[in-house]
Amino acid sequence: MFSMSLEFLEKSNELAKERKPFAVATVVRVEGSSSARPGSKALIDKYGNLLLGWVGGGCAESAVRREAIESIARGEPEFLTLDMTDEVLGVGMPCGGKMDVYIEPVLPKPHLLIIGHGRIAETVTSLARTLNFFVTVDDPLATRESFPDADRLLPDDVDLSQAHIDPETYVVIATQHKGDHLWLKKAIEADAAYIALISSHHRARLVLDYVQANGVPREKLGRVWAPAGLDLGAKTPEEIALAIVSQIVALRRGGNGQPLNQRRASHADAQNEKILTQCDAVRR
């Protein structure tokens, strides 16, 4: 048992270091017949593959794996009760017994890639680290002194190969017009979760026109935030950085940047309109 527990921890640590999402499924209660016992655990990846451990045989395993996929996608734990006594209402075949399984997703920190240097980039790094992002800074002038809060520095990525961009990467381009069109094209082609270009309106238009002329479909340009950030009336580098990080949080959490008091008012107006419509229907 000790050997299995150690293997379980080592595998969990390996997945975490590789920034791969997974779920830990733990049997917390068993009633009646079941091959698993309370405390039985399994590691399941985002595709539903059982990587290690045991939570029962075919009667329960497929149901746990399906729920683990959903739990990882939602980023929320799930408490699952499996009825293995009923072929119709249970998990598919009458194996006997009932089992409660707690499924907990283990997700890597969201990845923010900052390309460039300067005070805006430095402040974005600090703010993002405070908000629990894993921050990579890619720039020839990126030093530990300038970016003490960065998790990873890439000062020699001359061919743009070291910075991994995928659909879960948030990208902020702060290259001050040095190769920004190349990075923008790479981020768009990688379908990054967020793509922001720190620039003026004029420079943004030039860069977007360039990448479109070099093969990027026009409809994909609509995903680029250029100039970057929410309209906070920002003037200083620190304020601009706050506007950018605020936009990232809003998009990640499904917000829209609208003031909360206006949001409440809009909701109340909608409710009132619904009540008035129902009253009119009753009168008629």
Query: Cα(142)–Cα(163) distance, rounded to whole angstroms?
Result: 14
Sketch the domain layout of the chain as residue ranges.
2-106, 111-253
Give how far the C-alpha of residue 1 lies from the chain's centroid of Cα atoms, to the nearest Å.
Answer: 35
pLDDT digits (tens, 9 = 90+) for 17-31: 888 999 999 999 988
Q: Which stretch of 55-69, 117-131, 227-241 has the lowest confidence by average pLDDT?
A: 55-69
What torsion, rounded to 10 degrees, do the Cα atoms 277, 280, 281, 284 define? -160
pLDDT digits (tens, 9 = 90+) for 205-259: 999 998 999 888 888 898 999 999 999 999 999 999 999 999 999 999 888 888 8
Which pTM value belongs to this model?
0.78
CATH superfamily of 111-253: NAD(P)-binding Rossmann-like Domain (3.40.50.720)
Q: What is the DSSP string of 189-244?
A: HTT-SEEEE-S-HHHHHHHHHHHHHTT--HHHHTTEESS-S--S---SHHHHHHHH
